[in-house]
Chain A
Amino acid sequence: MAGFDFLGSLPAIVPEVGLTILAIVILFLDVYLPTERRRNIAWVTVLGLLLLAATPLVWAPPADPASQLVWGGMVRHDTLAQIFRVMILLGAALTALMSIDTKAHGRQGEFYLILVVATLGACLVSAAADLVMVFLGLETLSIPLYILAAFRRDDLRSAESGMKYFLFGAFASALMLFGLSILYGFSGQTSIYALAEVLPAASGEAVLPVLAALTLVVVGFGFKIGAAPFHFWTPDMYEGAPTPVTAFVSVASKAASFALLVRFLIAVFPQSLVVGGHEIQAFWVSLAALMAVISMTLGNVLALSQRNIKRLLAYSSIAQAGYALIGVAAIQSQTEQGVASVGFYLFMYTFTNLLAFAVVVFFSEATGSETIADLAGLNRRSPWLALMMTIALLSLGGIPPTAGFFGKFFLFNAAVQADLTWLAIVGVLNAIVALYYYLIVIKVMYVDRSADEDQPIALSRASGWALALPGLVVLLLGTVAAQPVFEWAVQGALALFQA
């Protein structure tokens, strides 16, 4: 191993170090602050996370690919990690912001503590370059989320949500881990960048064990990103968990797992990898395409009949995972286009979904209801909430001038360029189905009348920020910011191919 350069390696983990410090600060504040001033803990969390979201930009990755692998090859400090860290940290900050005024856990320090630790795990996952780090990062992300899902002591559904999430999550981790152990067995090495070189020789040209390991790992990731047919936990967990937690799981956990998925597939099973005369890449591309088709179709069809808005967004998120998997499948030839479209899609999806869930949080805090029918007349009760929900739903549906339009455009474009036109067509058809149920919610908010119309919903200042910030980003990404962010994502994608 080359000489260990401590100061040179430190910039790669600035967000993680910062998050650890933030967690300790929150712990102390929770002990020392009197109950009536506990609200400050939330503000400290929000400001700390926003500040940390800037650190990946300040300590930019080194231009030389050879010096990007740091800390004994545990993390890779490249542009892809940078993009995903920024989106995860911003997502966590917005989650904390929308939690401030919730009655159940807005003033509980440990809620923010666990949120920060989960964010730490997500940041590690997006940069992981070693099998040990992959596993450790995913568990640092998942274990706090199990706790958060079961966080509401007063709500039976929360306990059930936590239990289901935990059982499925632990099972998925074990499956993936077995795959990782087989991969370790091929080479005796744990670095994912060293694996691809030794894999053909080490596996003795036997293709079956390689495919078994690949399948186990992809199944594990399928659980984490909530893609069908591994989506069973998603609707129950989304409905039962406290809504800010649902928002966080739907964006940060998904984004980090997608970052790892593309990094892992490209590093360990690159295009050049041929074992026993079989191209391994063709196998995982068809696996991703298959999962994309099932996720999109199943998610959208089941979403049609939902009455609970959180459940609707859960099925919609399964479908969204399916769209993003189109980009993963498109890696087969137009390599950097595929990864870049996944990166951009998740970037815009983070803010869009947080916006939608923020509206659900404030609506259910004010009214205690989560059903779509109760959204009737929302426009007259709170025009801001209705407008923000409309922007979020249009973006999820892919309508300009919102970010979702460019997100889908880049994905389908990458698919067409990779000779997967049929996949793009399935995606477009699904987007039309999805638009139907998104528009129904908009119709309920603006057209339907209800008996409660004369009771306006008041928004606090924190709530206003939690709506305005993601709303603004969604509109910017749909107009002027789309080009620069996509180019940034292309940079991130290119970084993956420079071994």
Chain B
Amino acid sequence: MIPLWMYLLVAALLFCIGIYGVLARRNAVAILMSVELMLNAVNINLVAFWRYLAPQDMSGQAFAAFVFVIAAAEAAVGLAILLFVYRTKRSVIVEDVNLLRW
């Protein structure tokens, strides 16, 4: 059987790629996708821990299910907001959206 640490390593790598994407990308849709990557890393973590540590208790599975339901809701709201921004500004590059400055 594949040891637990391999799953955790994949999750950690995915999480770091996600963080890099959020910090480095300038397109708001790409940032949203990077956040989704981070959430997927969380899901891998949760399901792997559940399978190896507490397979008799469903709470890890339930947690993962809630995470992707919420991720879908968040993406729906986020894309709606980005669409609204795109309609008014014709751009979703975060640096172009800069009315609010001190």
Contact = CB atoms under 8 A, between A and B. Distances in A.
Interface of A: 131-132, 135-136, 139, 143, 146-147, 150, 153, 156-157, 159-164, 166-167, 170-171, 173-175, 177-178, 180-182, 184-185, 187-190, 235-236, 239-240, 302, 305-306, 311
Nearest to A160: B97
Interface string B10-52: 0000010011001000001001100100110110011001100
Contact of B94 (A153, A167, A173, A182): A167
A147 to B, nearest CB: 6
A319 to B, nearest CB: 16
B53 A156 contact: no
Contacts of B88: 156, 159
B41 A178 contact: yes
Contacts of B70: 135-136, 139, 143
B39 to A, nearest CB: 6
A150 B28 CA distance: 15
Given A177-B67, A184-B60, 4 more contacts: A136-B70, A162-B85, A164-B94, A167-B35
Contact of A163 (B41, B66, B97): B97
A174 B62 contact: no
Given A135-B66, A163-B97, A185-B53, A174 B18 contact: yes
A193 to B, nearest CB: 14
B28 to A, nearest CB: 6
Contact of A136 (B45, B66, B80): B66
Contacts of A177: 38-39, 42, 67
A135 B46 CA distance: 13
Contact of A167 (B32, B38, B49, B50): B32
A240 B57 CA distance: 45
Contacts of B94: 163-164, 167
Nearest to A162: B81
Contacts of B39: 174, 177
Nearest to A311: B102
A235 B73 contact: no
Nearest to B48: A185
Nearest to B31: A167
Contacts of B98: 160
A132 B18 contact: no
Contact of B81 (A139, A159, A175, A189): A159
B89 A156 contact: yes
Contacts of B67: 135, 177
Q: Which of B32, B81, B98 has the most CB of A within 10 A?
A: B81
Contacts of B97: 159-160, 163-164
User: Does more than half of chain A's interface fall in helix, strand or loop, or is it mixed?
Assistant: helix
B27 to A, nearest CB: 11
A159 B94 CA distance: 12
A364 to B, nearest CB: 16
Given A135-B66, A174-B42, A188-B60, A163 B85 contact: yes
B59 A170 contact: no
Contact of B100 (A174, A178, A236): A236
Contacts of A311: 102
Contacts of A173: 74
Interface string B72-91: 01100110111011001100
A146 B99 contact: no
A132 B46 contact: no
Contacts of B54: 188-189
A188 B50 contact: yes
Given A166-B78, A170-B78, A184 B49 contact: yes
A239 B22 contact: no
B85 A159 contact: yes
A334 B9 CA distance: 41
A166 B59 contact: no
A178 B67 CA distance: 11
A203 to B, nearest CB: 12
A143 B49 contact: no
A146 B53 contact: no
A163 B53 CA distance: 39
Q: A135, A178, A187, A302: which has the most chain B beta carbons within 10 Å?
A: A178
Given A139-B70, A177-B67, A236-B100, A170 B85 contact: no
Nearest to A136: B66
Nearest to A302: B102
B74 A170 contact: yes
Nearest to B84: A159
Contacts of B35: 167, 170-171, 174
**Which 6 pairs between the two chains have the least Cβ-Cβ distance?**
A188-B54, A174-B38, A188-B53, A181-B45, A185-B49, A236-B100
A166 B78 CA distance: 7
A146 B100 contact: no
A184 B63 CA distance: 10
Given A178-B45, A181-B45, A235 B85 contact: no
Contacts of A153: 84
14 contacts: A132-B66, A136-B66, A147-B77, A147-B81, A159-B88, A163-B82, A164-B97, A173-B74, A174-B35, A177-B42, A184-B49, A188-B49, A188-B60, A190-B60
Contacts of B89: 156, 159
Contacts of B81: 146-147, 150, 159, 162-163, 166
A156 B53 CA distance: 50
Given A146-B78, A159-B85, A170-B35, A182 B100 contact: no
